[in-house]
Every structure is written in C-alpha cells, then in structure tokens.
Amino acid sequence: MTNLALLASRPAERPRRRLDPVALLACAFLVFLLLCALAPGLVSGRDPLAIAPAEAFSPPSPAHWFGTDESGRDIFSRLVWGARDSLLIGVSATAIGVGLGLVLGVLAALAGKIADVVTSRAIEVLLAFPGLMLALFLIALYGPGVGTAILSVGLSTAPGYARIIRTRLRTVASSGYAETARILGHHPLRVLLRTILPNAIAPILGIATLGIGQAIVWAAALSYLGLGVKPPAPEWGAMLAAARTYITSAWWMTLFPGLFIVLTVLATTLAPRLLARWGARA
Amino acid sequence: MGVPWRAVLWRAVGGLIVLWAAATATFFAIRAVPGDPAQAVLGGPGSQAGPEALAQVRAEYGFDQPLWMQYLRTLGRLASGELGTSYSLHRPVAAVIGEQLGGTLLLAVLALLVAWVLALAWLLATTRTRGPWNTLGSGVELVAAALPEFWLAAVLIVVFSSTLHWLPGLSDNTAGGLALPVLALAIPLAGFLAQTMRGSMMDSLTAPYSLSARARGERSTGLRLRHSIRHAAAPGIALSGWAFGYLIGGSVVIETIFARPGLGRTLYNAVTIRDVPLVTGIVLVSAAAYVLVTVLAEIVGGLVDPRPGRAAA
C-alpha cells in the first residue's frame, strides 16, 4: 500500500515534444559524411593524393584547415575523401553483422526450443572471440585486406545483434497482436514476415546505426595496425598510423583524423535518438 | 546468499562446450583455407617455407590422414595443453604464451580496476534525481565511450609524454610506465560501464526503499554508497566478461603503440607474418580467459545483486 502510494507520487515522465538539438546535430554530421562519401569533390576541391613537398608539415591555417602531412597533402581533404572508405567498410560490415544476427536471432527466438539452445550456444561461441580477435585470426589465415576486414568485423558484431534481435522478437511474438494473427489461422511465415518483423525492425535499425560507428572504429583499428586499408589511400585509421612517426612534431596529423572518428561514433550513437522520437510520434 | 554450486557447475559445463566449439571452429577455419594446408600453417601462399619445414608440419598435423582423425588428434592435443609450435619463433606456442601472458594480464586487470573506479566515482558524483549534473554526466560518458583506444593512446602520449614530460611514452612494469597504457584502455571502458550503470543507479535513487532510507535519516552520500551502488553494479558486472574481452583485444593495439611486451604485441607480430599456430594458440587462450571471466562475473553478479533469488540464476 505504502509502496504503491510512493510509486504513484513519482512524477510521470512526460514525453518531450521539442526536437533534441544534439540529435539534430548528429544527423547533420551524418548527412555531411554521406555527402563526403558520395561527392567528395563538392566538399573539398583539393586532390587528397596531391603531393606538395614544399608545404609538408604545415600547421593548421586558412589555406589548410587541418594542416598538411609529411608529403604536403591537405589533411582536411584526405579526411573528406576517406569518408567513402570508412563508411563503406562500416556499412557493409554492419550489413553482414545485422544479416547474420537476424538469421541467428529469428532461429533462436521462433524456431523452437532446440533451435534456441543451439543458436544461443553458437552466439556464445562467436562472443568468445572478443573484439579484434576474430578479425586477427581471419587475417592470419586469409591475409590482410579490405574484404577480410569487412567480413571479420561483420562476424564479430553479429552475436551482439543476434542477442538483441532474439530478445526483441520474443517480446513481439508473445504480444497480443501476434497472438491474434496466429489465432486467425495465418501461416507462421506470414505472421513472421507481416506481423512480427515489421514491429521488431525499428529498434533493430536504430541499433544498426549505432553499430556502424563501432564497425568504423574497428576497421580503423585494423588499418592503424597496417592490416586493413593500405596507405596512401586516405583512410582514417591508415592516416593515424602514418601520423605516428611525427606524433611529437606534427600533432595535427594525429588530432584531426581521430576527431573525425570520434565525431562519427558520437553521431551514429546520437542520431538513432532522433529516429526513435520520429518513430514514437508516427 | 551462499554460492549456488549447482548453477556454477552448469555454467562451467556450458563454458567447456563453448570452448570445444571454439576449438572446432578454428580447426575447420584453418582447413577451409584453399590450397596446401601445410603451406597455410606456414604463412600462406607467399611464404618461403622450405620442403623440410613443410614435411615437418605435415607430420605434426597429420595432414595425410583422414579429416576426422586430424580433428580428434587436434582436440586431444588441445586437451593436454599442447598448442603446437610457432614456426617463426621455433618454440612451443604454449611456452611463448606462458611467457607473455603475465604482462597482458597485469595491463588488463589494472585497466579493468581503474575503469570500475572511474565509472563508480563518476556515477556517485554526477547521478542526481534532477538538475544539469545528469546531462553533463551522461554527455561525458558518451564521449569517453566513443574514444578509440589507439587514438586516445596517441593523444595521451602527446600530452603527458612529449609535451609535459611527466610520463614515459614507452611502457614497462613500473607505475609510471603502466599509467598511460592503463588509462588509454580504462577511459573508454569506464564510459561504457558508467553508461550501462547510470540507468539502474537512477532507478535505485528514486526507488521506494531509497525514500524510506532517506526518511530514516540516511544522508544522500550514505544512501548512494550503502544502497544504490549495489543495484547499479549488477549490469556493470554482467558486462565485465565482455569488458575483459575488449581489454584483451585492445591490448593488441596498446602494446604495439607503447612498445610493451605481451600477448597482444606477440599476436600482432604473429598476424603480420601469418604464424598460424601462434595466432590460433593466442586466440584460443584468450577465448578460454573470456569464458572463465564470464562465468566468474555471473557468480560475482549473483552475490552482489541485493535482489533475492538472483544468485547466478
């Protein structure tokens, strides 16, 4: 009784109707990155590979916003042109991860008890190769490269997605409307495709957006170690690796590529909030 | 709330099954490489392996025997702790791992502890039921969690080593030498941990038992230290298995940057020259460590969580 009274006295959380400015900024940055990836020439007119030895190691200035590297290449333009590689790796790795996670999650949640036990164990096995371990193992076997990086980052993220998808699907599958669809005698496949998946997909998409940021960081880590995209390609991780030699003399070579990675991760983390709010309103 | 031995036993059996499956997966992944399997073990198609080395590997792995025999043989060797021979170091993989494990464990355990201390201190300082502190708190957590450890390490080196000259940029096992690599691993992890625990900390502060504790005259700090922290810790501890895996993976980058001997740097070197036996051995040992920590985290989580009936459920 007293507990109920206490609970009732808690202020109810009111849904906020204002647009979240932070989430809006995050979306704006993602749009900017997308523009960089699709039409880098529009954002920066400079050639990211053009060497100008006379301008090597210029600190940030109006001419070179983020300074230049050891060959005099403009760092801002390299970051802009590098967005394509980073986004491509991030999106394709996440697509592999979510795709595999979806298969495992659907099997675990809806294909019966035995399938659940087996797939849940499979998920645990994938989880036992934490982070970069799986990627490094596959690279040792098949050699370094962008393809191996995408595949291995996708595989390492799949178990996380599978777990979330499994939980989400179970919640939807045990809901009243899914039950109704089943009682109406619809085919199980129809219930899955028309009722359960559409209702479970929105939060999964939000998590996938978040995962793109994580995938970009892992891919950058591989490139940083020299096992992903190779220099002189303007990939962010590879740029950071090249900056290591000049870390004491040319700090801008280290600072700005890292900032781009951090901003990308923050944007992919915060943007889903805006999407979720739109989803809630619709 | 004693330790529920039956549940612990079941978790241990589950862990063993996971390890067996992991070993099976690595076995078939190696065999799935197209071409001569002995060549694959010795560094791939581009390697300079001589005929004697290839013959030795064929004999050691029994590549002339049927696949199921090779598989059983591999499992048998793994079960007795034999991980094969590193062709680049010409030494048993198990001996190399035994030598390098200590430094990495020291790094990982210290980073895990520091991350927990940072996360809890930050939560205790910034979790309020109202006001701007929460927004600031979760904002900082968000940024901390978004920092890639390899970039953070570089920034720490620039600030504390090459600019301020407070700490060395190369790592050894002294307190000064450990500070930067530990921080580079711990700060992003602390961000993740605090993000995970903030929600349950908030819930706990507004829970009825907190109100009644306040009514009994408990101060705000006392409430946080005596009640909320245990509720908040449960999701964080559940994350510790994952966190440990993250640290082992992160040690690859961190040990390479700080030129620090350890398992991560050995793994990195082994990957660049494609020393498959050494890579496989390290990956399997870290998988075993991950499974062990996950089981331990579940047991500890059950003991810390004050809610009844939650012990290692």
Q: What is the pLDDT of residues A218-241, one digit of tens each?
A: 888 888 888 888 777 788 888 888
Q: How near does any CA of chain B get to the CA of A161, in Å?
A: 14
Paired with B85 in beta bridges are B92
- Taking CA–CA distances from B31, the nearest residue in chain A reads A141
Spatial distance between the Cα atoms of B64 and A176, rounded to a whole number of angstroms: 59
Identify all chain B residues contacting A10, using CB atoms and an 8 Å cutoff: 206
At B86 the three-state DSSP class reads strand
> What pLDDT is stored for residue B307 in this prediction?
66
Spatial distance between the Cα atoms of A101 and A161, rounded to a whole number of angstroms: 5
Q: Give per-residue burial for B81-120: e unless 16+ CB within 10 Å, then b.
A: eebbbbbbbeebbbebbeebbebbbebbebbbebbbebbb
Give the closest residue to B190 by CA, choosing from B134, B250, B111: B111
Q: What are phi and psi of B262, to 5 degrees?
A: 165, 180
Q: How near does any CA of chain B get to the CA of A140, in Å?
A: 5
A16 in contact with B, Cβ within 8 Å: no
Q: Which residues of chain B have pLDDT under 70?
A: 1-3, 44-48, 129, 131, 305-313
Q: Give per-residue burial for A123-162: e unless 16+ CB within 10 Å, then b.
A: bbbbbbbbbbbbbbbbbbbbbbebebbbbbbbbbbbbbbb
Least CB-CB distance to A3: which of B147, B157, B208? B208
CATH 1.10.3720.10 fits B5-312, yes or no: yes
H-run or E-run covering A191: none
Q: How near does any CA of chain A get to the CA of B144, in Å?
A: 9
Stated pTM of the model: 0.82
Q: Counting one residue from A and one from B, how many pairs have CB atoms under 8 Å apart?
A: 139
Judge: A137–B26 Cβ closer than 8 Å, yes or no.
yes
Least CB-CB distance to B18: which of A121, A142, A243? A121
Judge: B253–A224 Cβ closer than 8 Å, yes or no.
yes
Q: How near does any CA of chain B get to the CA of A224, in Å?
A: 8
Give A280's pLDDT tier (boundaries 50, 70, 90).
low
Rg (CA), chain B: 24
ipTM of the complex: 0.83
Judge: B276–A225 Cβ closer than 8 Å, yes or no.
no
At A68 the three-state DSSP class reads strand
Q: How near does any CA of chain B get to the CA of A96, in Å?
A: 18
Tell me which amino acid residue B260 is: R
* pLDDT reading at A279 higher than 70: no
Give the closest residue to A127 by CA, choosing from A95, A93, A164, A99: A164
Give the closest residue to B177 by CA, choosing from B255, B247, B101: B255
Identify all chain A residues contacting B263, using CB atoms and an 8 Å cutoff: none
Q: What is the pLDDT of residues A95-116, one digit of tens each?
A: 999 999 989 888 888 777 888 8
Judge: A254–B158 Cβ closer than 8 Å, yes or no.
yes
Exposed/middle/buried for residue B211 (C-beta within 10 Å: 0-12, 13-18, 19+) = middle
Judge: A127–B22 Cβ closer than 8 Å, yes or no.
no
A32 in contact with B, Cβ within 8 Å: no
> What pLDDT is stored for residue A95 in this prediction?
93
Which of A133, A139, A216, A222 is best to mutate for the B interface (most B CBs within 10 A)? A133
Give A275's pLDDT tier (boundaries 50, 70, 90).
low
Identify all chain A residues contacting B154, using CB atoms and an 8 Å cutoff: 240, 243-244, 247, 254, 258
- Taking CA–CA distances from A227, the nearest residue in chain B reads B272
**Which stretches within A174-250 are classed as H helix?**
176-183, 188-190, 197-224, 236-243
> What pLDDT is stored for residue B183 in this prediction?
94
Q: What is the pLDDT of residues A34-78, one digit of tens each?
A: 888 888 877 777 777 777 777 777 788 877 778 887 777 888 888
A145 in contact with B, Cβ within 8 Å: no
Tell me which amino acid residue B57 is: V
Least CB-CB distance to A254: which of B154, B268, B271? B154
Give the closest residue to B155 by CA, choosing from B251, B257, B243: B257
* pLDDT reading at A1 higher than 60: no
Q: What are phi and psi of A243, to 5 degrees?
A: -75, -15
Identify all chain B residues contacting A137, using CB atoms and an 8 Å cutoff: 26, 29, 279-280, 283
Residue B62 has, within 13 A of its CA and on its CB side, a CA count of 12
Judge: A125–B22 Cβ closer than 8 Å, yes or no.
yes
CA torsion B261-B263-B268-B269 (nearest 10°) is: 60
Least CB-CB distance to B158: which of A138, A220, A251? A251
Exposed/middle/buried for residue B52 (C-beta within 10 Å: 0-12, 13-18, 19+) = exposed
> What pLDDT is stored for residue B178 in this prediction?
87
Q: What are phi and psi of A68, to 5 degrees?
A: -125, 165
Sign, CA torsion A244/A246/A251/A257: negative
Spatial distance between the Cα atoms of B238 and B215, rounded to a whole number of angstroms: 32
Judge: B158–A248 Cβ closer than 8 Å, yes or no.
yes
Residue range A140-163: average pLDDT? 86
**Spatial CB neighbours of B206, under 8 Å, sequence gap ≥ 6:** A10, B129
Give the closest residue to B27 by CA, choosing from B64, B61, B65: B61
Give the closest residue to B231 by CA, choosing from B299, B285, B306, B150: B306
Tell me which amino acid residue A95 is: A
Q: How near does any CA of chain B get to the CA of A176, in Å?
A: 28
Tokens of A240: 């950071």
∠ CA A223-A227-A228, rounded to 5°: 50
Q: How large a percentage of chain A has pLDDT more than 90?
A: 5
Q: How large a percentage of chain A has pLDDT more than 70?
A: 90
* Long-range contacts, B66-69 (Cβ 8 Å, 24+): B67/B31
Task: Give me the residue spans of the domains in chain B.
Answer: 5-312
Q: What are phi and psi of B187, to 5 degrees?
A: -65, -50
Q: How far is CA B118 from CA B115, B154, B192, in A?
A: 5, 21, 11
> What pLDDT is stored for residue B110 in this prediction?
93
Identify all chain B residues contacting A225, using CB atoms and an 8 Å cutoff: 252-253, 256, 268
Q: How near does any CA of chain B get to the CA of A51, in Å?
A: 25
Judge: A132–B249 Cβ closer than 8 Å, yes or no.
yes
Whether residue A67 contacts residue A61, with contact meaning beta carbons closer than 8 Å, is answered with yes
Residue B311 has, within 13 A of its CA and on its CB side, a CA count of 11
Which residue matches tokens 């020299």? A226
Q: What is the pLDDT of residues A158-175, one digit of tens each?
A: 888 888 888 888 888 888
Give A121's pLDDT tier (boundaries 50, 70, 90).
confident
At B49 the three-state DSSP class reads coil
Judge: B146–A244 Cβ closer than 8 Å, yes or no.
no
A128 in contact with B, Cβ within 8 Å: yes
Q: What are phi and psi of A226, to 5 degrees?
A: 80, 20
